[in-house]
Structure 1
Amino acid sequence: MLRALKGAQKCLCLANKSFNLVQTKLRLNDAPTLAASMAVRHYSPPTHIKQSAVPNESGTMAEVKLEMMKRLGLEHGYQPLPKSREHLLKYQPKLEDLPTRAMQDSFTSAIIPLSTDPVLQDKYVTYLGNVRMGRLLEDMDMFAAWCCHKHVVVPQLPADVHLPYTFVTILVDRIDFTNTLASGTEDIRLSGHVSWVGTSSMEVVVWLEQKQNGKYQKLTRALFLMAARNATNTAASPVNQIQPANEEEKVILDGGKSRKRMRQLLCAQSIFKVEPNDPEQTLMYELYKRTTPSDTMELNKRILPPNCRWMSDSYQMSTIPSFPENRNHHNRVFGGFLMRTALEISWAAAVLYCKTRPKLEHIADISFEKPVSVDSFIKMTAYVVYTKLNYVQIMTVAEVLDPHSGNQVTTNTFYYTFAAPDTVTEVLPRSYHETMWYIQGRRKFEYSMGLKSN
């Protein structure tokens, strides 16, 4: 998506108890317990916010999109050079001019009316009648920006002047999915609010539910870290600070500091920044021994153990052009489009690897490292980097291709956990860099399962 706020942490926050996240630490050789751990992660909007007298219904997601365009002064129709918003820079407020806000002030909800709109159903339904999760990720990303609109209030802004802000996604935290099977023909509700703020950044929690048998059932919940930028997206802009309305909001806000520290910790522990720890180095040696002949005269030869597959043979790739319909108002590729595309190629890789239809259990983290121009060619490569019992860990890398120079620039890396009905073939690395991917995939898997890494 757009360039992230300078200095913002580009790693992912661990959901904590203030959102009622229940985690169970488990033994890796206990498949039923592993499956159970995924099912116990339930979380709901804070009770006091749902019962608040503050109006919180925003209509449909189509209406939300139109309202955001209206507030920002955007118009339909593609222009190679976006309409200038420089005249709004003089209206950028100072931090001390912004009143404090409570979480219940930004709480809102919106509907995807699948039950009454057959045309919309065609965009969301799979051939089995379920919902396309990639489409929902697009909506969640847009809805998180809408919560930012609900939070930011500029009292000195004249009524006839558009909002001098731009809201961009920095990262999306771990997303867990319940066992509820989402239908492609029933209404889906998004709800959320700003849960923590920095000087110019906002953490937004978004819930996704679907009406089944007259009652909304939980599908998933995610945390978005958003950056507030000025009207031209050239500098940071201050946001309203949070004054908790009650003890429940205070607990959530206090947890923001812990989540920030956890983001920093997870970022520092990346295998791409620090060497493997001692248990991981032992694992690497075991992998080497398993795939090397016992005959010392054949050191350059690698052997594949029974019921295993090489990582280099376990990937799927797709190169796609982006078009204006995938743009945001700065003619950059909409982050939700990248999220949807990455998820769908990852799902294809998981299906072809498992030879069956696995269930998406978890999305570990999504960070937006570089903006992607609307005229870009985007290469998505989904690698199977780790397996355990019936679980498959996918690492998907998004790269922008320059058709003139041939250069490739990595813009995003995504991690997905899928669960197959039966035990899957074990994937093994053949080279050193694949071994690093294996270790990173193992870490992401343990993180997604609520397990403590060695």
Structure 2
Amino acid sequence: MLPALLGARKCRGFLMARNLLLLASKKSRRYYSSSNDIKKTSVDNPNCTMAEIKEDMMKSLGLEPGYTREPKCREELLQYQPKIEELPARSMQDSFSSAIIPLSKNPMLQDKYINFRGFVRLGRLLEDMDYFAAWCCHRHLKLPNLPKGVPLPYTIVTILVDRIDFTDVTASGTQDIRLSGHVSWVGTSSMEVVVWLEQKVDEKYKKITRALFLMAARNATNTGSAPVNPIQAANEEEKQILAGGAERKKHRQILSAQSVFKVEPNAQEQSLIYEIYKRTSPTEHAGPLKRLLPPNCCWMQDSFQMSTIPSFPEHRNHHNTVFGGFLMRSALEISWAAAFLYCKTRPKLEHISDISFEKPVTVNSFIKMTAYVVYTKLNYVQIMTVADVLDPYSGNRVTANAFHYTFSAPDTVTEVLPRSYHETMWYIHGRRKFNASNVYKSETIS
């Protein structure tokens, strides 16, 4: 088992203790991670909103609201990029923050977050979690040699989301939601951030989900990597968290090297492939290419849903490319629709596997989202959604992102089966994702 991550409640305790010390010593509530003259109104304020955090991030980067076709040049900031030996060590408490999505007091905001049943749209929350992870990275960064008045010479981008598990709490669309998080591990230019979502139920905050974001620090023009502050554990528990971050990195590298798209399936999986072939081939061998669909099954090629989405400036991040949270929300919503149409009943999102961000997406792109049912087990459905960027002039297509979701239905679902070898690799890949999700904890998983 990987070492546990520091709980949100304990982190908030660290933050409150630090605030008391600041008040006792009558120090100013300034935060110097970006610019020594930018006062962060949301820093160390547990009741700040996501809107305030977004405003503070804009200020720290030296950006202003409004869209221009030619984004503000940040090339002059390259001279302020620090060397790694200039960066002091930071603690996990330094990056810890929390924020509120004030749904209880803002009916207009409710319209943005609520679905027709009165619950929160989880895709909207993913957008906020991605933004909040970047905010925690901003809090972690501290540049002692950055001149007063100079914006933060960094670009923070999302590399991947490791895994997201959901509790049984069904988030209401009319109650406040709290985000909490901190940097839990750093590399030379990468930062792992843990983010929690909670909602107040019967006067107590209850956990909705927890996610791990891996973020990359890039230079001011997003043309190269940039070093980040090292992290120093304050106690034995934090040492375990740091060790867990390093172990998770190693685990991701192993899984990537063993991907079914890189190496052939193992012996057990090859036996499964042959079993599927035998189940879908006629016993009389009427023809070598003929395939038969067993009862209560569906071909994978008939299970997908697709949507082509034009992107607009409102979907951009601070660096004028499509915001990763928007891609996550769009992918989740079409995946949910695919699961709903396949199960013929409203599905429940159980787990999101690693989300990879391979290429940046420009704000004038067409994004083709295709959601496939790639594996089923009893009442569970595994969805793989691929985001392709389309060039409307040349017709070229480049895959930018891949998403993997596990949904559950009230009753047993129709079994999905691959028809081609290509689909069979998707089936094996989806089966691995499902087994790794641990949503179906039983020794009967074959």
Q: Which residue of 2 aligns with 1:429?
A: 418
Q: Which residue of 1 aligns with 2:29?
A: none
**2:5 counterpart (4, 19, 25):** 19
Q: Which residue of 1 aligns with 2:255?
A: 266
Partners of 2:18 and 2:195 lie apart in 1 by 18
Q: Does 1:57 align with 2:33?
A: no
Q: Does 1:111 align with 2:100?
A: yes
Q: Which residue of 2 aligns with 1:351?
A: 340
Name stretches of at least 5 consecutive residues in structure 1 with no aligned partner. 1-14, 21-43
Name stretches of at least 5 consecutive residues in structure 2 with no aligned partner. 20-43
**1:333 counterpart (322, 343, 354):** 322
Partners of 2:154 and 2:390 lie apart in 1 by 30
Deviations 1:224-258 (A, max 9, x none): 11111111111111111011111111111122221
Partners of 2:322 and 2:248 lie apart in 1 by 28
Partners of 1:306 and 1:217 lie apart in 2 by 43
Paired positions, count: 417
Partners of 2:170 and 2:245 lie apart in 1 by 31
8 Å Cα contact 1:354-1:425 kept in structure 2: yes
**2:305 counterpart (316, 327, 331):** 316
Partners of 1:416 and 1:138 lie apart in 2 by 16
TM-score scaled to structure 2, two decimals? Answer: 0.91
Does 375-384 or 260-269 show the bigger shift? 260-269
Q: Secondary structure at the match of 1:17?
A: coil
Q: Does 1:126 align with 2:89?
A: no
Q: How does 1:381-396 map to 2 (within 5 A)?
A: 381-396=370-385
Q: Does 1:47 align with 2:10?
A: yes
Partners of 2:11 and 2:121 lie apart in 1 by 32
Deviations 1:390-438 (A, max 9, x none): 0000000000111011111111110000000010010111111111111
8 Å Cα contact 2:155-2:319 kept in structure 1: no
Deviations 1:170-229 (A, max 9, x none): 000110000001111100000000000111111100011011111100000011111111
8 Å Cα contact 2:338-2:373 kept in structure 1: yes
Q: Secondary structure at the match of 1:298?
A: coil
Q: Which residue of 1 aligns with 2:72?
A: 83
Q: Secondary structure at the match of 2:209?
A: strand
Partners of 2:169 and 2:87 lie apart in 1 by 41
8 Å Cα contact 1:204-1:225 kept in structure 2: yes
Q: Which residue of 1 aligns with 2:294?
A: 305
TM-score scaled to structure 1, two decimals? Answer: 0.90
Deviations 1:56-105 (A, max 9, x none): 33610000000000000111111111000111111111111111111011
Q: Secondary structure at the match of 1:54?
A: helix
Q: Which residue of 1 aligns with 2:22?
A: none
Q: Does 1:252 align with 2:245?
A: no
Instruction: Return the offset for 1:49.
Output: 5.2
Q: Secondary structure at the match of 2:4?
A: helix
Instruction: Return the offset for 1:46.
Output: 6.3
Q: Secondary structure at the match of 1:195?
A: strand
**1:293 counterpart (266, 279, 282):** 282
Deviations 1:290-347 (A, max 9, x none): 0010012322211111111111110100001000000112221000000000000000
Instruction: Return the offset for 1:16.
Output: 2.4
**2:155 counterpart (166, 175, 195):** 166
Deviations 1:92-124 (A, max 9, x none): 111111111110111110000000000000000
Percent of aligned pairs sharing the same letter: 71
Q: How does 1:354-433 map to 2 (within 5 A)?
A: 354-433=343-422
Partners of 1:62 and 1:297 lie apart in 2 by 65
Partners of 2:343 and 2:54 lie apart in 1 by 38
Q: Which residue of 2 aligns with 1:6?
A: none
Q: Determine which structure has greater relative contact order: mean sequence separation of CA pairs < 8 Å that are 6+ residues apart, divided by chain length.
A: 1
Q: Which residue of 1 aligns with 2:270?
A: 281
Partners of 1:16 and 1:401 lie apart in 2 by 39
Moved over 6 A (4+): 450-454
- AA aligned to 2:196 is W
Partners of 1:329 and 1:242 lie apart in 2 by 26
Instruction: Return the offset for 1:48.
Output: 5.5
Instruction: Return the offset for 1:18.
Output: 2.0
Deviations 1:373-403 (A, max 9, x none): 1000000000000000000000000001110
